[in-house]
Structure 1
Amino acid sequence: MTDETLVIRAQLGEREALAELLARWQVPVWTYVRRMLDADRADDVSQEIWLAVVRGLPRLREPGRFTPWLFTIARRSITERLRAEYAEKTPVAGDSTAEDPAEATVDRATLVSALSALPVLEREVLVLFYLEDLPVDECAYICQVPAGTVKSRLNRARRLLREHLDEKGYRP
């Protein structure tokens, strides 16, 4: 069953459809959030995201655009959390573990360190494009920027990631 069908059924009040939709997207959303924040904050922000999804799902006008809508909510939640923390000027210790498929290429700690060293905007598009496998146009929609901006951020993110890995002594 497609996400679009599940969304429509959930909008019509079918709790099973909503539960299936949440089960299907829980891990990808948490993984995205985890790649942007540490584990403790990822759990809290993920709960906030799902609360916003449940509240907003009845107003979703294009059920076929569920994925970019969902990741837009996730992005906003992450941004709000970071903005609140920066406003408080409270340093947050990062967790150096993440569940990702890149372990075969670069060890996990090196990859997480390299990702966390990237500026938030570049890290965000890199995670959406490469780790969440979203196309450029959906990344642009989620980030609310033109596709060309996504491409330039991806280019910069790749360059910065390569430089960081070179500094750490990683050679492909």
Structure 2
Amino acid sequence: EVAVKVFKGEVTSDGYPNDELQACLKAGSHPNLVKSLAQVQQPDNLALIMDLIPSHYQNLGLPPTLATCTRDTFPADFSLEQTQIDKIVQQMRDVFTHLHQNKVCHGDLYAHNTLFDRDANILVGDFGAASMYHMLSESQQQQIRQIEQRALEHFIDDLVSICVQTPDKIVA
């Protein structure tokens, strides 16, 4: 089964649809990325064909609020055990490494853009804010990675905030 994301309009809230589509394809295949299968590119139609996400996956977090600004929120009764957080963090680190090996910056590494299941397996999608940076100098590429590394650290901090146990120090 597949899902089809049809891009409508010339500009989205995160940027240009063609940029998102190209970043998805450049990201390549990884077990924790929503799998892109093909693109449809016709004069009036732009679409991305992806694997259908299994129905047992759900959003890990909720979007930031005006009060939290750039930090994810979670339902009031939601928590994770340390072992679940460790597994999620390791998978997100693997995604981070994979993307940056392919010179793709996700640009939106948040819990609300991460799907997870009861076994703490994750899927990352939503490449609307992604950028390809292969054309930049090595110094500029390093700066892009540092910015996204900071986003990864915030992601980890957000998860630690919902840990049901006293968390061990997790280092991004």
Q: TM-score, normalised by structure 2?
A: 0.24
Higher strand share: 2
Higher helix share: 1
